[in-house]
Amino acid sequence: MQFDAAVIESIGEKKAPGSEVAGKANVLVFPDLNAGNIGYKIAQRWGGAEAVGPMVQGLSKPYFDLSRGCSVDDIANTAAIAALMS
């Protein structure tokens, strides 16, 4: 689903009629680490969102790739999620 349809209900109704999540998405999935990083930085820097991640899925143990620009709060939030996943 395209981003606008995922987060704006009126657009979601047009682009994805009948979808239960159109316009109400609270999780965004990206095809690779580069795309995810772009979305993550936009949400964090422009949108003022509290972004946690990126989280790399599919491994036997939790793996997080912290940014060199992350804050102490980012590290604490990521560590808490990693502990819950372990």
At residue 72, the pLDDT reads 92
At residue 68, the pLDDT reads 86
- What are the backbone angles phi and psi of residue 63, rounded to the nearest 5°? -140, 125
From CA 13, how far away is CA 33, in angstroms rounded? 29
Q: Could you write out the DSSP letters of every residue in 19-85?
A: -SSTTT------SSHHHHHHHHHHHHHTS-------EE-SSSS-EE---TT--HHHHHHHHHHHHHH
pLDDT at 2 > cutoff 80 = yes
Say what the pTM is.
0.56
pLDDT at 40 > cutoff 90 = no
